[in-house]
């Protein structure tokens, strides 16, 4: 079957120009051309899927025929071979060893850290102060993942280092992925900053691991879980390199993503008085003035709907995979080694699945609506064997942070928000005034 080619292709450059210029609009509109559309990233031919059915095939029903592919090959040298990067049997082994650290009762224990960190942030604000909310949410997300990972004295230094370095690493890793290889070798300040940030993180995380091994005590933190985990087939623990790679993976995968969702959630709550009224009413009714606990999370149903709607409207732009076997994708034969692109954003803005997708509408998230959505149409955390291991962690963190802040403050927009589109839509200088309730 011949595959339609996306519009705007140029010799050598392929579709790089419309991808960079039109970004999310370019990929969201590809559904007009077919269910599988050819998109050339420079000289590389890739296939973009535009339906929930084929998205589900790649992520879930045919997942064993795919590895993570090109984008991740470029990330691996910086963040190692942790869970988000590894493939095949090694990935499965690591996932089995790490899964217990994300079980419900563990998240229940992390919830206390989440609530305290959110209370500390809300307690540091002054009435009518204007805050850069995306910066506050980044700080909150570093504290939460950091304190969940490292609970010891020396761990505090690792958290401070993460606060200083992790955003430098994330931002520059993205640029490196998009740039030709020679750019990362140039002696320019961004490269030096990046290399220094990685080196500092590396040194302190190794120090924490070494001191843990010397004591051998379970501190009840996520790092202890990683160090105590055993492969259920061989009985082997992870070596220091694997533990380091997994720590770096959790820092890079678990902080920026959650901070972004939190920033947008406060923006959206403030943008609609009715949404705000219902959030505040729910917080008052469920908490009645006491601090939020893990047991409150399932009762905060409206905040969960608001969170779902934020995750729908502000997801990752694209995910990539590479075939490792012959695959029939909607009648198109893909030989091994073919790169495919999935877009959570394009799925979430498809009017076939979401009525008025551009409208922020938490009320669409009734249990029936969620049940009846086609598989593959709502994928903020991916799906299948590579689905986000931190999804419950993130949702718990979001609900706890929103409830804690909303119990004390109303956040008022100061000016219209500007958005920067990179791997997702990011708010730029999201200034909000914090008004006591």
**Residue 381 sits in the site that holds ligand HEM (CB under 6 A):** yes
- Sheet-wide strand order for 339-342: 36-41, 44-49, 339-342, 319-323, 66-67
Nearer to ligand HEM, 316 or 340 (CB): 316
Considering CB under 6 A, how many residues would be counted as binding ligand HEM? Answer: 22
Could you tell me the two tokens for 230? 């055993």
Cα–Cα distance, 117 to 132 (Å, whole number)? 17
Question: For ligand HEM, what does the binding mask look like between residues 249 and 278, x meaning CB under 6 A?
Answer: xx--xx--xx--x-----------------
Q: How many residues make up the chain in this entry?
A: 437
**Which residue carries 């082997």 as its tokens?**
236
**Which residue carries 């993460």 as its tokens?**
162
Looking at the DSSP bridge assignments, the partners of residue 412 are 433
Nearer to ligand HEM, 83 or 275 (CB): 83
Contact pick of 19, 394, 405, 425 for ligand HEM (by CB under 6 A): 394
Looking at the DSSP bridge assignments, the partners of residue 44 are 41
Alpha carbon 73 to chain centroid distance? 18
In the complex, the smallest distance separating the C-beta of residue 134 from ligand HEM, rounded to whole angstroms, is 14
Pairing of strands 425-428, 418-421: antiparallel
Nearer to ligand HEM, 57 or 257 (CB): 257
Give the footprint of ligand HEM on residues 3-62 (CB under 6 A): none
Question: For ligand HEM, what does the binding mask look like between residues 128 and 147, x meaning CB under 6 A?
Answer: -----------------x--
Could you tell me the two tokens for 247? 């720590």
In the complex, the smallest distance separating the C-beta of residue 384 from ligand HEM, rounded to whole angstroms, is 8
Nearer to ligand HEM, 34 or 382 (CB): 382
In the complex, the smallest distance separating the C-beta of residue 392 from ligand HEM, rounded to whole angstroms, is 9
**Which residue carries 């990752």 as its tokens?**
316
**Under DSSP, is residue 33 helix (H, G, I), strand (E, B) or coil?**
coil
Question: For ligand HEM, what does the binding mask look like between residues 51 and 90, x meaning CB under 6 A?
Answer: --------------------------------xx------
Cα–Cα distance, 69 to 85 (Å, whole number)? 9
Q: Which chain residues interact with ligand HEM by CB under 6 A? A: 83-84, 95, 145, 249-250, 253-254, 257-258, 261, 316, 319, 380-382, 386, 388-390, 393-394
């Amino acid at each position: 079957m011949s595959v339609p080619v996306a519009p705007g292709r140029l010799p050598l450059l392929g579709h790089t120009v419309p991808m960079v210029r039109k970004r999310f609009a370019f990929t969201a509109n590809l559904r007009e051309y077919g269910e599988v559309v050819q998109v050339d990233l420079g000289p590389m031919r890739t296939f973009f899927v535009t339906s929930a059915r084929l998205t589900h095939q790649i992520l879930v029903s045919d997942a064993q025929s795919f590895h993570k592919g090109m984008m991740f090959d470029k990330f691996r040298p910086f963040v190692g071979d942790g869970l988000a990067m590894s493939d095949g049997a090694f990935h499965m082994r690591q996932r089995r060893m790490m899964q217990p650290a994300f079980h419900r009762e563990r998240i229940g224990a992390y919830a206390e850290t989440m609530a305290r960190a959110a209370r500390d942030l809300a307690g540091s604000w002054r009435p009518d102060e204007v805050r850069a909310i995306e910066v506050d949410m980044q700080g909150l997300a570093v504290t939460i993942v950091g304190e969940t990972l490292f609970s010891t004295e020396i761990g505090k230094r690792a958290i401070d280092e993460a606060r200083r370095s992790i955003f430098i690493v994330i931002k520059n890793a993205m640029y490196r992925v998009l740039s030709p290889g020679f750019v990362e070798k140039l002696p320019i300040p961004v490269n030096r900053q990046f290399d220094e940030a990685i080196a500092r993180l590396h040194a302190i995380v190794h120090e924490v691991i070494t001191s843990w091994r010397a004591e051998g005590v379970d501190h009840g933190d996520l790092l202890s879980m990683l160090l105590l985990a055993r492969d259920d087939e061989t009985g082997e623990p992870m070596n220091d390199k694997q533990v380091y790679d997994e720590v770096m993976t959790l820092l890079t995968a678990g902080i920026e993503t959650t901070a972004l969702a939190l920033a947008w959630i406060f923006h959206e709550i403030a943008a609609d008085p009715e949404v705000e009224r219902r959030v505040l009413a729910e917080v008052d009714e469920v908490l009645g003035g006491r601090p939020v606990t893990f047991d409150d999370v399932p009762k905060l149903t409206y905040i969960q709907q608001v969170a779902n709607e934020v995750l729908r409207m502000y997801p990752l732009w694209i995910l990539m995979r590479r075939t490792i076997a012959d695959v029939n994708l909607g009648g198109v034969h893909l030989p091994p080694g073919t790169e495919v692109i999935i877009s959570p954003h394009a799925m979430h803005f498809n009017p076939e699945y979401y009525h008025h997708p551009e409208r922020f509408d938490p009320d669409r998230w009734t249990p029936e609506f969620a049940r009846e959505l086609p598989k593959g149409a709502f994928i903020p955390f991916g799906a299948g064997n590579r689905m986000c291991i931190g999804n419950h962690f993130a949702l718990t963190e979001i609900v706890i942070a929103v409830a804690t802040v909303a119990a004390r403050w109303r956040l008022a927009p100061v000016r219209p928000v500007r958005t920067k589109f990179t791997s997702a839509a990011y708010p730029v200088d999201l200034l909000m005034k914090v008004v006591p309730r």
